């Protein structure tokens, strides 16, 4: 199996993801990303290759970041150790200090036992597949082994967090004065940043999930466990709740009543605000096939076009880069604002969402009402041949019939798993009962026709 997945290298820390693997991967990264005209021009000008390295708070991040830094320094790369900061902060810093690349040690919303290694190219952008393949191939090849003064230096990036906070505050279109915000930091990388920046922006802040001990990241808190945030917002009478995940590249929200406002609703609010300010490039929003039908309808009514991609923030980013678009994201809360970030940034997203509440003097519920969320039912059908979804005539006839029966009031999507013998049947409709009925009927057809 390929080493790189959809978002870097990820696995059980000290299981498949060992210190040896991290060191070798870092050495291979130095070989591949240390090539090219830019790198050669730097060396010719007497400048050394530099990389930013950061991590989230999980305990395995200590030995994995140490291994990565050792691999880079042994390859002649100077390392700026940014410590514990969000993934989008690491990406920002790579561009801000004009580093050659960056490495983030994090497994995002996964439990504490897992970890991952994500590599950013020059400018803080994610690597294309072809470069990841070159790095993986280079792990078995010769490494750079300078000696004496040629080895890299490792030094603390002392103002890493301050640079990121200043960047976030400079991006704000409006201060947050007068609003009470509950922040759920998922006991993760946002714990040291998000409370400070929301406070500096003028909000009254109540914080939960901001006591990381290396083992409690994402444990019952954060964007994948919203019940504690919902209860806290209601209990303290706050205006809004913002939830991050472990590495703070996601943002979900809760309104004053405790109702969840997901990534689709957040994108709808931001898209309309950016369109009004003339900042929504080509009046276009980029979203995945899993985004709710209500988002598409709301954007159409507002004169906003939508570009649809496969599931995954990397595909959203590719489409945004290809079209030069300024806003995109996923229902899960990965929201990318390309004017300020090269990747999903949960703190940035939360700030701009609350800023719209302050600017328009409206509650989050009022802002979110711009779109109607259609009930969405997802049925996983296991033990089937996912490769025949598009070629089986009876399956496709059933999809066509279901689509016709729903008309403009619903949507059908069959999505084969990329890793398992599984097909996901998703149906949206005006009521849960209709969506469930159609989804189960399609699942039966898939189960019968594609059984292994």
Q: Do 215 and 359 fall into the same domain?
A: yes
Q: Do 309 and 227 fall into the same domain?
A: yes
> Rounded to an integer, what distance in angstroms lies between the CA atom of residue 441 and that of residue 176?
48
Of 65, 74, 108, 326, catalytic: 108
What is the CATH number for 399?
3.30.310.50
pLDDT at 36 over 80: no
Indicate the helix (H) or strand (E) that contains 347. helix 346-360
Percent of the chain with pLDDT over 90: 90
Q: Is 249 annotated as a binding residue?
A: yes
Q: Do 98 and 175 fall into the same domain?
A: no
Which residue among 335, 368, 401 closes a domain?
A: 368
Which residue among 368, 394, 423 closes a domain?
A: 368
Q: Do 382 and 320 fall into the same domain?
A: no
Q: Do 167 and 150 fall into the same domain?
A: no
pLDDT at 206: 98
State the average pLDDT over residues 145-166. Answer: 96
pLDDT at 46: 73
pLDDT one-digit tens code per residue, 88-110: 999 999 999 999 999 999 999 99
108 is an active site residue: yes
pLDDT at 124 over 90: yes
pLDDT one-digit tens code per residue, 410-439: 999 998 887 688 999 999 999 999 999 999
> Rounded to an integer, what distance in angstroms lies between the CA atom of residue 248 and that of residue 196?
14
pLDDT at 73 over 90: yes
Q: Do 42 and 100 fall into the same domain?
A: yes
Do the domain assignments include residue 2? no
Which residue among 368, 391, 419 closes a domain?
A: 368
Q: Do 395 and 417 fall into the same domain?
A: yes
Please give the order of strands across the beta sheet that includes 240-243.
204-208, 180-184, 240-243, 252-255, 260-261
Q: Do 111 and 240 fall into the same domain?
A: no
Q: Is 160 helix (H, G, I), strand (E, B) or coil?
A: helix
> Rounded to an integer, what distance in angstroms lies between the CA atom of residue 346 and that of residue 243?
8
pLDDT at 280 over 90: yes
pLDDT at 318: 92
Do the domain assignments include residue 42? yes
pLDDT at 313: 86
Q: How confident is the model at residue 408 (pLDDT cuts 50, 70, 90)?
A: confident
pLDDT one-digit tens code per residue, 339-389: 999 999 999 999 999 999 999 999 999 999 999 999 999 999 999 999 999
Q: Is 251 helix (H, G, I), strand (E, B) or coil?
A: coil
DSSP 123: T
Q: How confident is the model at residue 159 (pLDDT cuts 50, 70, 90)?
A: very high
Q: Do 353 and 444 fall into the same domain?
A: no
Beta strands in 310-355 (DSSP E): 327-329, 335-337
Q: Do 360 and 381 fall into the same domain?
A: no
Provide the domain limits for residue 262.
163-368
State the average pLDDT over residues 64-83. Answer: 98
Neighbours of 147 (CB within 10 A): 8
Residue ranges of alpha helices (H) inside 123-262 are 129-138, 160-171, 194-200, 227-236
Q: How confident is the model at residue 5 (pLDDT cuts 50, 70, 90)?
A: confident
pLDDT at 42 over 80: no
Written as six digits, the tokens of 364 are: 């989050």
What is the CATH number for 61?
3.40.120.10
> Rounded to an integer, what distance in angstroms lies between the CA atom of residue 227 and that of residue 292?
22
Q: How high is the mean pLDDT of the chain?
A: 95
Q: Do 152 and 167 fall into the same domain?
A: no
Q: Which of 80, 74, 77 is nearest to 95 (CA)?
A: 80
């Amino acid at each position: 199996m390929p080493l790189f997945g959809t978002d870097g290298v990820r696995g059980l820390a000290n299981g498949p993801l060992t210190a040896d693997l991290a060191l070798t991967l870092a050495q291979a990264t130095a070989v591949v990303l240390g090539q090219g005209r830019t790198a050669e021009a730097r060396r010719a000008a007497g400048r050394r290759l530099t990389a930013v390295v950061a991590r989230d708070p999980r305990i395995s991040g200590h030995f994995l970041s140490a291994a990565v830094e050792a691999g880079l320094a042994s390859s002649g790369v100077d390392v700026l150790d940014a410590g514990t900061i969000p993934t989008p902060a690491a990406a920002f810093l790579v561009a801000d200090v004009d580093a050659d690349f960056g490495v983030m040690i994090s497994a995002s919303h996964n439990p504490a036992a897992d970890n991952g290694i994500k590599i950013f190219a020059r400018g803080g952008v994610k690597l294309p597949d072809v470069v990841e393949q070159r790095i993986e191939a280079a792990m078995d090849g010769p490494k750079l082994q300078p000696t004496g003064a040629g080895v890299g230096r490792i030094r603390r990036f002392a103002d890493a967090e301050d640079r990121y906070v200043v960047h976030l505050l400079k991006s704000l279109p409006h201060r947050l004065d007068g609003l009470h915000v509950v922040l759920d930091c998922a006991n993760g990388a946002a714990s040291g940043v998000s409370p400070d920046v929301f406070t500096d922006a003028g909000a009254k802040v109540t914080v939960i999930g901001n006591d990381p001990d290396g083992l409690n990241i994402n444990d019952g808190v954060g964007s994948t466990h919203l019940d504690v945030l919902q209860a806290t917002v209601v209990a303290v009478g706050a205006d809004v709740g913002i939830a991050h995940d472990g590495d703070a590249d996601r943002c979900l929200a809760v309104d004053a009543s405790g109702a969840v406002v997901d990534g689709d609703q957040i994108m709808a609010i931001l898209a309309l605000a950016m369109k009004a300010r003339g900042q929504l490039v080509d009046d276009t929003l980029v979203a995945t096939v899993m985004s709710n039908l209500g988002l598409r309808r709301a954007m159409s009514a507002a004169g906003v076009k939508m570009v649809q991609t496969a599931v995954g923030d990397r595909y959203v980013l590719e489409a945004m880069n290809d079209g030069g678009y300024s806003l995109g994201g996923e229902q899960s809360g990965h929201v990318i604002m390309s004017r300020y970030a090269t990747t999903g940034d949960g703190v940035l997203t939360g700030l701009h969402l609350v800023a719209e509440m302050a600017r328009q003097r409206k509650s989050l519920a009022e802002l979110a009402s711009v779109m109607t969320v259609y009930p969405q039912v997802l049925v996983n059908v296991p033990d089937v041949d996912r490769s025949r979804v598009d070629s089986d005539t009876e399956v496709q006839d059933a999809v066509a019939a279901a689509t016709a029966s729903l008309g403009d009031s619903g949507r059908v999507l069959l999505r084969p798993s990329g890793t398992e013998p599984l097909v996901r049947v998703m149906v949206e409709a005006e009521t849960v009962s209709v969506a469930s009925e159609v989804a189960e009927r399609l699942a039966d057809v898939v189960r019968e026709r594609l059984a292994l």
